[in-house]
A and B are shown apart, each in its own frame.
Chain A
Amino acid sequence: MNSRFQEIDPSWAWRRYEPGPESPWNKRRAAHLFRRAGFGADAAALNEAISGSPGELIERLVVGVDAPDFTDQMNQMMRTLAAGNNPRNLASGWLYRMRYTPNPLHEKMTLFWHGHFATSGAKVEKAELLLNQNELLRRHAIGDFGQLVLAIARDPAMLLYLDSATNRKSHPNENFARELLELFCLGLGAYTERDIQELARCFTGWEVNQGEFRFNRFQADFGVKSIFGKRGNFTGEDGVRVVLEQPATSRFLVRKLLRFFVADGDFPDPLIEPLAAQFRADGLQLAGVIRTILGSELFYSDRVAGRKVRSPVEFGIGLLRGLDATVNLNMLAEELGALGQSLIFPPNVKGWDGGKSWINSATILGRGNLARRLVTNSETRFGGRKLPEYLAGQGVVEPEAGLNWLLEQFIAIPIPESSHARLLELAQRGDAWADVLHAMAVLPEFQLS
């Protein structure tokens, strides 16, 4: 349990953040919001953000902006990438999308669901199915959780991943039912083995045929099932509904959202319950609870600043977005895999553990090397220019001011004076911003969001 949150008053925590002299709406807080609700932002986006209110920005993030051209381009690109049937190409395409998306929260939530409903290209192998699942996650990213679960339950890639391509009434496959309860909706301890067995019967007859979902009524068990004390001739859809009706579902999801947006570690039940109640009251619509989290006093307080370890994707895309950089995304996808986060290839059905598991001596070194490669690669461009020219365009010329600009842009919490002095010494060497960024990227504080 994260002791830092034990004593927090829930009514204060989820109260709407109102900027004031003690906690002004400034670039630091805007950068925090962009890091958590997206993948960071460049200086122009930060300046634009602080010219309005946090509420307006959150609303824009949650509702999203209409960008039909971008969506068309991405659909076209992903189709051609999937045509080669190499799932690894999808990872590069998705990184591109994260880098350029005008709707970073939607993309961040797509990433959240990718870890939540983990499905790996190592087993599914068919790029088209994995792409379809990715699009499904994006469509429902900030929508109705119930609809998302139902769609995932029929998703061919998921069914293939959990060996449920054929589910016959004589031998119900318990894999999907088990993961639905343990990993997708309720969490360990909130169900019995009997619930799993009965729920598995609901999904009999659900098959994948020629890459598409098919209901085979001859293999469906239409008998009476008993799940969580309810009895009936439940179908698969009924089974999902019964699971979603469990109060544990909202608590489970809210807990996971808090870990994703607010801080690594666990949260005490009193802090979770108000949000879980809101989630239930909203009919498991995600937008409301996400608005509350991102607009809360707790979210902008010092208690959560730097309380999350950046995932490799947040690290890499954060650097690119923060510096308006373009880079070889095949290379980036490969490097992120070496740091422990291969998109489209999550390690197992539980997804990535996240938090401190991202960090060890090898990955810290790897992150530094990645930052250096990103900023020194001859192909990389920053706002279409080379790094020194881009930084000069941002007014980053004088060493100390430039260093502070970079720190404000990328680091969530103050760094020790000794680190600051070392970075300043580097900055004062002249034309050494790539070295400064590399040195920044290996600081412990840089790994925190």
Chain B
Amino acid sequence: MSRLLVCGVPLLGILATLAAALGEERKAADLLPSTTVIYSELATPPRLLELVLDHPIRRRLEALDEYKKAFETPQYAQFQFGLSMVEQQLGMKWREALVGLTEGGVHIAIDGPTLGTVMLAKARHPAVLEKAKETLLRLVREDASRKGESDPIRSGEYRGVQAYRIQESRFAVVGSWLIVTNKDDLGKSILDALLDGAKDPLSADPEFKASRGSTASGDAPLFWAFVRLQKLRDAGIAKEIFRGKTDNPLAELLVGGIMSTLRKAPYASSAVYGSRDRVRWTLDLPYEPGWVPESRHFYLGPTGEGTASLGLATPSSILSLSTYRDLSGLWNSSADLFEADVNATIAQANSQLTTLFAGRDFGLDVLASFRPEMQLVIARQTFESPALTPEIKLPSLAMVFRLKDPEKMLRQWKVTFQSLIGFLNVVGAMNGQPPLELNMETVDGVQFVTAAYVPKESKESVPVPINFNASPSVCFIKDLFIVSSTRQLAQELARSARGIAANGAAATEQANTRLQVDFSMLKQVLEDNRQYLVSQNMIEKGHARKDAEKEIGTLLEILNAGKGFGARLERRDEQLQLSLDLQFEP
């Protein structure tokens, strides 16, 4: 709109008014061209504002000194001053104004051919938008006048629509629509779509429609975005994401299969759903098993149907991650997945671990003895005797594997565990650490091999060292192999496995990966370590003890607001969906 056309034909004004009326019925995707590469929308900003600003957690946060400090800056004070000025001009509070201006949604898009960015916002009523526009124009002009500068606003008409330009931004108001863009051509195409209806709108695009369909379930999202991945790849954007190899094995384990899909999928969509008691984010990708190379079959399985079938539970669980990952496949495909230096490290580790496992190749024999289903559990542990209660109380951690040939592997793993404890004792003795005492016990028919630290005989009351958090244990239940940092967790998981076996098979699971974090148990672990946290606070902030206790108390109080966090990776028909779910206490 830099070359604003001033045609001066009154008929066009009438057309613009008519278009405004017609535009009221249209959605943003009806106005945007099908060449749009990235599209995002906040469908109901007032709902988002209400969720963020009126949420009980916000009040708890506001009570924190840290929160107050963050806003004690001159910049924030200046911002507040500016905001109050604008409120005065608008004659209403900023929130009220924002709700009025965006009630019909805010949409931001990037067009491929023009590389233009456009924002479309739909107000509650044309009059609200008109007032805001007039106020903005007045403020900008007054500011320029105060600075002794010339009028920074250029204006003109395009097909009867009054348009404005301030520096590189062009904007126009048509009915309830506010259109802001940085490119003339994109702005004109949207005005044309408003006046005449779009010939080839984004809303009619098959990929866009498919994307909308994949996420249109249940609640309407607060935020929704669509990206044409193919166009981004063609443009050479975010090359790192689409690169073949990585130097981070953990990232490969966590998101390797998703990255393969991102490299081939033509588009992706993402949504955020929110309510008072949860916020959920989803990423949806079209998926075809053939897109994933053989080296990454470890992730979703050769046909893409690998599921997280293990679901042992314990009441003290802080985190449970159940997943399908063929560790042997990952280890043995390392040459195709990782950079050279990572491969060198893996080769060295393979050699050392092969020695530890009595000559059985770690990748081809040891890891290959596991089925791909596995589970990680982190749980709060309790201590029976104060004399054996460490000053820092760590949660326990366990891995659950399914063995391919339990009869054959049981003895092998038992011997390896005993060797490992012996090795730890030798190394520990060299460093003056107490020894681990090896024990075997059978509980409800399940055999446990456990090790526990032997307490030091001391005349004085000395802090119990951090290693007393560990009592490494293993046990075998049918084809399940549980290896745990503590005897307590091994026994709890074994109890859960027995329960599942007794009650029949667990429900069929479709997810490839399931993660659940329980905040109340996490808070309990922090409570267990309150003394340590207070000490750390005293050191890190120099606080007096009562101040440190107050601050830690407030932080723990805030944790009360959270209930849990979940993540899930799931294949549904020809879609791959990753979702993250943060739950709050109601």
Residues of B386-415 whose CB lies within 8 A of A = 390-392
Encode A55-81 as 1/0 by CB contact (under 8 A) with B: 000000000000000000100110111
Query: Is B506 located at the chain interface by the 8 A CB criterion?
Result: no
Check if B539 sits within 8 Å of A84, measured CB to CB: no
Query: Is A270 located at the chain interface by the 8 A CB criterion?
Result: no
Query: Is B465 located at the chain interface by the 8 A CB criterion?
Result: yes
Q: Which B residues are CB-close (under 8 A) to A338? A: none
Query: If the complex has contacts A76-B531, A83-B392, A211-B432, are A325 and B542 also in contact, measured as CB distance less than 8 A?
Result: yes
Closest Cβ–Cβ distance, residue A176 to chain B (whole Å): 19
Q: Which B residues are CB-close (under 8 A) to A320? A: 542
Check if A326 sits within 8 Å of B532, measured CB to CB: no
Check if B456 sits within 8 Å of A328, measured CB to CB: no
Check if A378 sits within 8 Å of B69, measured CB to CB: yes
Check if A379 sits within 8 Å of B541, measured CB to CB: yes
Closest Cβ–Cβ distance, residue B359 to chain A (whole Å): 35
Separation of A100 and B464 alpha carbons in the complex (Å): 27
Query: Is A237 located at the chain interface by the 8 A CB criterion?
Result: no
Separation of A27 and B458 alpha carbons in the complex (Å): 49
Q: Which A residues are CB-close (under 8 A) to B542? A: 96, 99, 320, 325-329, 379-381
Query: Is A341 located at the chain interface by the 8 A CB criterion?
Result: no
Check if B532 sits within 8 Å of A80, measured CB to CB: yes
Query: Is A212 located at the chain interface by the 8 A CB criterion?
Result: yes
Check if A328 sits within 8 Å of B531, measured CB to CB: no
Query: Is A89 located at the chain interface by the 8 A CB criterion?
Result: yes
Separation of A378 and B69 alpha carbons in the complex (Å): 9
Query: Is A180 located at the chain interface by the 8 A CB criterion?
Result: no
- Checking B434, B462, B465, B538 against A77 with a beta-carbon cut-off of 8 angstroms, the contacting residue is B538
Closest Cβ–Cβ distance, residue B399 to chain A (whole Å): 25
Separation of A320 and B466 alpha carbons in the complex (Å): 33
Q: Which A residues are CB-close (under 8 A) to B466? A: 83-85
Query: Is B496 located at the chain interface by the 8 A CB criterion?
Result: no
Separation of A328 and B543 alpha carbons in the complex (Å): 9
Check if B539 sits within 8 Å of A330, measured CB to CB: yes
CB-nearest residue of chain B relative to A208?
B432
- Checking A76, A100, A128, A379 against B465 with a beta-carbon cut-off of 8 angstroms, the contacting residue is A128
Check if A330 sits within 8 Å of B535, measured CB to CB: no
Q: Which A residues are CB-close (under 8 A) to B392? A: 80, 83-84
Q: Which B residues are CB-close (under 8 A) to A328? A: 539-542
Q: Which A residues are CB-close (under 8 A) to B462? A: 128
Encode B454-470 as 1/0 by CB contact (under 8 A) with A: 00101000111110000
Encode B364-392 as 1/0 by CB contact (under 8 A) with A: 00000000000000000000000000111
Closest Cβ–Cβ distance, residue A86 to chain B (whole Å): 10
Separation of A325 and B543 alpha carbons in the complex (Å): 9
Among B390, B392, B456, B542, find the residue whose CB has the most chain A CB atoms closer than 10 A.
Answer: B542
Q: Which A residues are CB-close (under 8 A) to B540? A: 328-330
Check if A210 sits within 8 Å of B535, measured CB to CB: no
Closest Cβ–Cβ distance, residue B200 to chain A (whole Å): 53
Closest Cβ–Cβ distance, residue A76 to chain B (whole Å): 7
Q: Which B residues are CB-close (under 8 A) to A96? A: 538-539, 542
A-side interface mostly? helix
Q: Which B residues are CB-close (under 8 A) to A128? A: 462-463, 465
Among B69, B466, B539, B543, find the residue whose CB has the most chain A CB atoms closer than 10 A.
Answer: B539
- Checking A79, A93, A380 against B463 with a beta-carbon cut-off of 8 angstroms, the contacting residue is A79
What is the interface size of chain B, counting residues whose CB is below 8 A from a CB of the partner? 25
CB-nearest residue of chain A relative to B542?
A326
Separation of A320 and B390 alpha carbons in the complex (Å): 33
Query: Is A126 located at the chain interface by the 8 A CB criterion?
Result: yes
Query: Is A92 located at the chain interface by the 8 A CB criterion?
Result: yes
Separation of A254 and B540 alpha carbons in the complex (Å): 38
Q: Which A residues are CB-close (under 8 A) to B456? A: 210-211
Check if B539 sits within 8 Å of A83, measured CB to CB: no
Closest Cβ–Cβ distance, residue B542 to chain A (whole Å): 3
Check if A326 sits within 8 Å of B541, measured CB to CB: yes
- Checking A81, A211, A325 against B539 with a beta-carbon cut-off of 8 angstroms, the contacting residue is A81
Query: Is A82 located at the chain interface by the 8 A CB criterion?
Result: yes
Query: Is B85 located at the chain interface by the 8 A CB criterion?
Result: no
Residues of A316-350 whose CB lies within 8 A of B = 320, 325-330
Separation of A197 and B390 alpha carbons in the complex (Å): 43
CB-nearest residue of chain A relative to B392?
A83
Q: Which B residues are CB-close (under 8 A) to A325? A: 542
Q: Which A residues are CB-close (under 8 A) to B463? A: 79-80, 82-83, 128
Separation of A82 and B456 alpha carbons in the complex (Å): 17
Q: Which A residues are CB-close (under 8 A) to B434? A: 210
Check if B543 sits within 8 Å of A83, measured CB to CB: no
- Checking A80, A93, A380 against B531 with a beta-carbon cut-off of 8 angstroms, the contacting residue is A80
CB-nearest residue of chain B relative to A209?
B432
Q: Which B residues are CB-close (under 8 A) to A81? A: 535, 539
Q: Which A residues are CB-close (under 8 A) to B534? A: 77
Q: Which B residues are CB-close (under 8 A) to A327? A: 541-542
CB-nearest residue of chain A relative to B393?
A83
Q: Which A residues are CB-close (under 8 A) to B391? A: 79-80, 82-83
Q: Which A residues are CB-close (under 8 A) to B541? A: 326-328, 379
Separation of A329 and B434 alpha carbons in the complex (Å): 32
Separation of A328 and B542 alpha carbons in the complex (Å): 6
Residues of A174-220 whose CB lies within 8 A of B = 210-212
- Checking B69, B458, B464, B539 against A92 with a beta-carbon cut-off of 8 angstroms, the contacting residue is B539
Check if B535 sits within 8 Å of A76, measured CB to CB: yes
Separation of A128 and B466 alpha carbons in the complex (Å): 12
Query: Is B545 located at the chain interface by the 8 A CB criterion?
Result: yes
Check if B544 sits within 8 Å of A77, measured CB to CB: no
Separation of A334 and B432 alpha carbons in the complex (Å): 28
Closest Cβ–Cβ distance, residue B575 to chain A (whole Å): 46
The 6 A-B pairs at the shortest CB distance, nearest first, are namely A83-B391, A326-B542, A77-B535, A80-B535, A80-B532, A92-B539
28 A–B pairs (Cβ distance < 8 Å), ordered by A: A77-B535, A77-B538, A77-B545, A80-B391, A80-B392, A80-B531, A80-B532, A81-B539, A82-B463, A83-B390, A83-B392, A83-B464, A83-B465, A83-B532, A84-B392, A92-B539, A93-B539, A96-B542, A99-B542, A100-B544, A128-B463, A210-B434, A211-B432, A211-B456, A327-B541, A330-B540, A379-B541, A380-B542
Instruction: Report B's interface with A, CB cutoff 8 A.
Output: 69, 390-392, 432, 434, 456, 458, 462-466, 531-532, 534-535, 538-545
Instruction: Report A's interface with B, CB cutoff 8 A.
Output: 73, 76-77, 79-85, 89, 92-93, 96, 99-100, 126, 128, 210-212, 320, 325-330, 378-381
Beyond A93-B535, A100-B544: 5 further Cβ-contacts under 8 Å?
A83-B464, A84-B466, A85-B466, A128-B462, A328-B539
